[in-house]
Chain A
């Protein structure tokens, strides 16, 4: 979990009946915020299918306190921008972002939302950061659910540290360091496959 350790300082003091904890107010607030992210899914395209998969039983991001979808932007803290944003949709996205109350975070789900992807043409916005600030980028077309969960954890980590620098989810396994276990293992039974 990398740097997730040691961010909250809480000391349990011995009391008469029940103990009490001391912590910094900011840390407590951030702790509360990061585990109760009400989300507004702005789902437009292909990544929406993967978003459904992330929210469904097998991957289940409710485990991260990000369960309740709020389709009203005024009640949500986290804007998931899932899928390609085209020029025609840009004003709507911006308006939804502006309607959200502070503090608010934005997660760009997928390559199209992050950079425009391979839709480099007249219709598409090359990344939502051209329009609204963005906190976490999850690359992938579409990203695997594991990458999305990494992105969510990264965001929670950033909330805890009060860090608004944009962050990108990277592969957990570095193909440079571990060539045996990385990208070549896409197909499980690859070794047994007959040559083409």
Chain B
């Protein structure tokens, strides 16, 4: 019997296909609830896509223009809700840059320790969620358990598990507690053990590696042009870290390395985060050694810092001081400033415009996530549909920061 297709040429053997439109999100579990991707698929390959954000636009910048400078802190907390302390410190530093003051040494170390703890919690969440989205549930549980320990430290220090509102322009809301150093040491030690276990669990797993390696590749030039910063840029081999390039607080005095990736794929981004947690632990260790146990935490300036409660209730000066700061707000001098720190996802910038009154004229946050998410389109175009989840997960999009 002769074959049926003998008169057909090769082109006719192919099935005619039409591009298919597929909508993922915003209520898709892997899209973190706030991103929608409209994809045009040819088979399983993404030909074109449109990333739509804004499903968590809460009007952060408008809300900031309604209160005092101190009242911005709670909103800043909720921008990056995985590492709120870094945002707190970033905003406080912006305000301090505008006032031209430097906080006491003890406060700087304190801020660094809390900030690095927040960075660890951020990376734990990102890597854990990424593993969970690929089906590895155990590392997620372990890492969330670790994050719980970080939050316990935070709760003991600040009173809140995740939205601390603990930073103040000119200091912190409270000095460190007595058992702070021991507690942090114990927690960090445990987290490093869990990290080793997680690595052993994941890095020997063929499925996990296959789904991440050479997936979501972006060139360093593209990443720079797109304004990527933080772990995503470092995974592309660009060693840009604000803590190293423009040291703030005491980062110039501690030793740490900036881990960089080589292939700029999702796996590199995963590993850069793991490595950064180890570096954070290194920084914390040095900070704990060098942080003085005694000494002031807040700057000694009654125009900036609220007086202690005993003074407010017992002296007239204290009452007036308190009243002026609370009712009129802290007055930043007229002008503008751009201050930048390294947050969990990259360069977190604050562009503040003040008109000299107690109310912010404009608070602009430069969200690292927003620009990283802007690159998602370039990362996933030309890839398989199934690779969207690891690629997106490795970018660590935080809705509150991306959409504000």
A interface residue numbers (CB < 8 A to B): 41-46, 48-50, 52-53, 56-58, 69, 71, 83-84, 86, 88-89, 92, 96, 118-119, 121-124, 141-142, 144, 186-190, 192-196
A83 touching B33 by the CB < 8 A rule?
yes
Contacts A50-B161, A56-B141: A86 and B27 contacting too (C-beta < 8 A)?
Answer: no
CA distance A163 to B268 in the complex (A): 52
Residues in chain A near residue B159, CB distance under 8 A: 186-187
B81 touching A46 by the CB < 8 A rule?
yes
Interface of B is mostly: loop
A195 touching B308 by the CB < 8 A rule?
yes
B interface residue numbers (CB < 8 A to A): 26-29, 32-34, 54-59, 62-63, 74-75, 78, 81-82, 125, 129, 140-141, 144-145, 147-148, 151, 156-157, 159-163, 174-175, 177-179, 297-298, 308, 310, 399-400
Interface of A is mostly: loop
Contacts A196-B174, A196-B175: A44 and B56 contacting too (C-beta < 8 A)?
Answer: yes
Residues in chain B near residue A86, CB distance under 8 A: 55-58
A57 touching B144 by the CB < 8 A rule?
yes
Which residue of A41, A49, A123, A194 is within 8 Å of B162 (Cβ)?
A: A49
Q: How far, in Å, is A31 (CB) from chain B's closest CB?
A: 29
Which residue of A43, A50, A123 is within 8 Å of B57 (Cβ)?
A: A123
Residues in chain B near residue A188, CB distance under 8 A: 156, 177
A92 touching B57 by the CB < 8 A rule?
no
A45 touching B178 by the CB < 8 A rule?
no
A44 touching B55 by the CB < 8 A rule?
yes
B58 touching A42 by the CB < 8 A rule?
no
B144 touching A45 by the CB < 8 A rule?
no
B144 touching A52 by the CB < 8 A rule?
yes
CA distance A52 to B81 in the complex (A): 13
CA distance A45 to B141 in the complex (A): 20
**Besides the known contacts A189-B178, A193-B178, 9 further A-B residue pairs in the complex with CB atoms under 8 A apart:** A43-B32, A52-B129, A53-B148, A53-B161, A84-B56, A89-B55, A121-B62, A188-B177, A196-B298
A45 touching B148 by the CB < 8 A rule?
no
Residues in chain B near residue A123, CB distance under 8 A: 57-59
Q: How far, in Å, is B36 (CB) from chain A's closest CB?
A: 9
Which residue of A53, A69, A124, A142 is within 8 Å of B163 (Cβ)?
A: A142
Q: How far, in Å, is B195 (CB) from chain A's closest CB?
A: 17
Q: How far, in Å, is B64 (CB) from chain A's closest CB?
A: 11
Residues in chain B near residue A41, CB distance under 8 A: 29
Contacts A141-B163, A144-B161: A57 and B174 contacting too (C-beta < 8 A)?
Answer: no
Residues in chain B near residue A193, CB distance under 8 A: 174-175, 177-178
CA distance A84 to B56 in the complex (A): 7
Residues in chain B near residue A187, CB distance under 8 A: 156-157, 159, 174, 177
Residues in chain A near residue B140, CB distance under 8 A: 56
Contacts A142-B163, A193-B175: A46 and B400 contacting too (C-beta < 8 A)?
Answer: yes
Residues in chain A near residue B141, CB distance under 8 A: 56-57
B54 touching A195 by the CB < 8 A rule?
no
A46 touching B162 by the CB < 8 A rule?
yes
Which residue of A88, A121, A122 is within 8 Å of B55 (Cβ)?
A: A88
Q: Identify the closest chain A residue to B58 (Cβ).
A: A119
B59 touching A119 by the CB < 8 A rule?
yes
Which residue of B32, B58, B179 is within 8 Å of A189 (Cβ)?
A: B179
Contacts A45-B399, A124-B59, A144-B161: A194 and B175 contacting too (C-beta < 8 A)?
Answer: yes
Q: Identify the closest chain B residue to A187 (Cβ).
A: B159
Best-surrounded residue of A43, A193, A194, A196 (most CB of chain B within 10 A): A196
Which residue of B27, B151, B175 is within 8 Å of A42 (Cβ)?
A: B27
A45 touching B56 by the CB < 8 A rule?
yes
Q: How far, in Å, is B67 (CB) from chain A's closest CB?
A: 10
